[in-house]
Structure 1
């Protein structure tokens, strides 16, 4: 009796957790794409959070839309055209907002908000007038279950380039997170690390755009990084934990969207949000963790 019950449970677990990836190539490609995004976008999110630029990431995610839309306008749903267009648009917005902040009375967050709102409106207008509702949904919410081999290789290439770039810029990025004024005073790496980081941010947002869409791609950066912050203060473990959280949430989101027939990108972001809320409550630096170590509780 116990043997048959264990066999039944193993079959149910196989059908629930493994069978979708074992039977369908599109699920395996989606998982591989999420793995590539997890090891590159999540560490970028950690530095975004430590530099207090999380909302800048959201703004940049919308800023790539007109470039991708113009690429779509000229070449349809072309991977290369939309990638190049998104990268160019993101870099233009990043550089323009920085120049405006340095040459006018506006701060960089205000100039970034202005440019991203213009970019978002322009991108939606182009796709809406030149395409159809399906194309607009593709751009805004992504098609992670439709990743083909070229798109997958693009995500893997961006992940490898990002890890290499973070390895080169790691020390100045950490110093800039802790004390940007000190880095500017002792090193010439400050502008290199700043604009290099923005360039890595743009290409990762373009990678996330192909999988999760413009509206959801920044969630894979910000939410796992914020969740990891509740568990550790050290940057190295935080980077690894953020990537692990991102991959876990992506796997759960893929399986849940497959079994429940729900849209994949929002489900993945909701899984990331659930991880964040759990970490907020029970993490070492979370609400319950801090209460447990509080002097009042220890005296009690």
Structure 2
């Protein structure tokens, strides 16, 4: 009798644990459509943006992504002035502005004594000020907050289709230029000695970055969109030196950050976009401590003789 009671009690505990896990981890997405939309949009951003972030990191262009994120603001603001909060108008304006800055900064770097990061910084500062001014001409403070911080919980079907399309184009484009991009990232001198595609690869890569920042703009705003791109990539760098492994880990960290951030937003009642980026930041802190390829704990663990 006593054994049967223990058996029933253990079954009850397992049942209770399953119910609690469902309520905490699945129910918010199963019960609310806006949560599912936010998760799908965030996952699209993570799958496409995080691999690009790996290349930005390895090319020492981590802050260039932030500059490009702000560079799309004037184009999106012009689209807003023409058509209001119209998805096609703001997307087209942001894409054109991002492409113009990506190509213009490269042209300035090749034609003058300025390095590319310096020209991007100049474009970034002017673009941010111009974009905020243009939005303020017609919009309210609410519109300005929407542009700067996004609204991931308000994604509709057309926006999700746009995010999925940009993610698909990015992954296909990245696959097409992967080999020369890796070579141009790790040994640009050798690529220039055997081919003249270096400048074209650089331009194509920056266009993909700008395209993803435009996608991120609709969900996370111009101030936070680059976080989904860079934080998972930086975290992955602390776990492995292998390029393929780094790209896969960056995408995985981005997915985990999106999922955890949305759950935290749901239960805490706080803005989703910032919490998604904070979740990615928490993964970065964890990687900073225990990452086997560069974390703090690596210095205190025994290594084989002559191991770097």
Q: What TM-score comes out, normalization by structure 2 length?
A: 0.94
For residue 20 of structure 1, report the CA deviation from its aligned partner.
0.7
1:57 to 51, 60, 65: 65
Match of 1:211 in 2: 219
For residue 174 of structure 1, report the CA deviation from its aligned partner.
0.5
1:169 to 168, 177, 181: 177
Match of 1:100 in 2: 108
Match of 1:190 in 2: 198
* SS of aligned partner of 2:206: helix
1:202 to 210, 214, 229: 210
Superposed, 1:204-283 pairs within 5 Å as 204-283=212-291
* SS of aligned partner of 2:224: coil
For residue 208 of structure 1, report the CA deviation from its aligned partner.
0.6
Match of 2:3 in 1: none
1:288 to 287, 297, 305: 297
2:18 to 10, 25, 30: 10
Rounded to whole Å, the distance in 1 between the matches of 2:302 and 2:235 is 19
1:148 to 152, 156, 177: 156
Task: Give the number of equivalent residue pairs.
Answer: 297
Match of 1:128 in 2: 136
Residue segments in structure 2 that go unaligned for 5+ positions in a row: 1-8
- Conserved? CA contact 1:46–1:239, under 8 Å: yes
Rounded to whole Å, the distance in 2 between the matches of 1:164 and 1:188 is 22
2:146 to 130, 138, 150: 138
Rounded to whole Å, the distance in 1 between the matches of 2:19 and 2:304 is 49
Rounded to whole Å, the distance in 1 between the matches of 2:130 and 2:239 is 40
Rounded to whole Å, the distance in 2 between the matches of 1:293 and 1:280 is 18
In structure 2, do the counterparts of structure 1 residues 23 and 194 end up closer, same or farther at CA, with 3 Å as the change threshold?
same
Rounded to whole Å, the distance in 2 between the matches of 1:272 and 1:263 is 15
* SS of aligned partner of 2:118: helix
For residue 294 of structure 1, report the CA deviation from its aligned partner.
4.9
Structure ID, larger Rg: 2
For residue 295 of structure 1, report the CA deviation from its aligned partner.
7.2
Match of 1:46 in 2: 54
* SS of aligned partner of 2:223: coil
Rounded to whole Å, the distance in 2 between the matches of 1:38 and 1:118 is 28
Comparing 92-101 with 287-296, which one deviates more in the overlay?
287-296
Q: What TM-score comes out, normalization by structure 1 length?
A: 0.96
For residue 176 of structure 1, report the CA deviation from its aligned partner.
1.1
* SS of aligned partner of 1:262: coil
Cα displacement string for residues 236-275 of structure 1 (whole angstroms, at most 9, x for unaligned residues): 1111110000000100000100111100111011100110
Comparing 199-208 with 94-103, which one deviates more in the overlay?
94-103
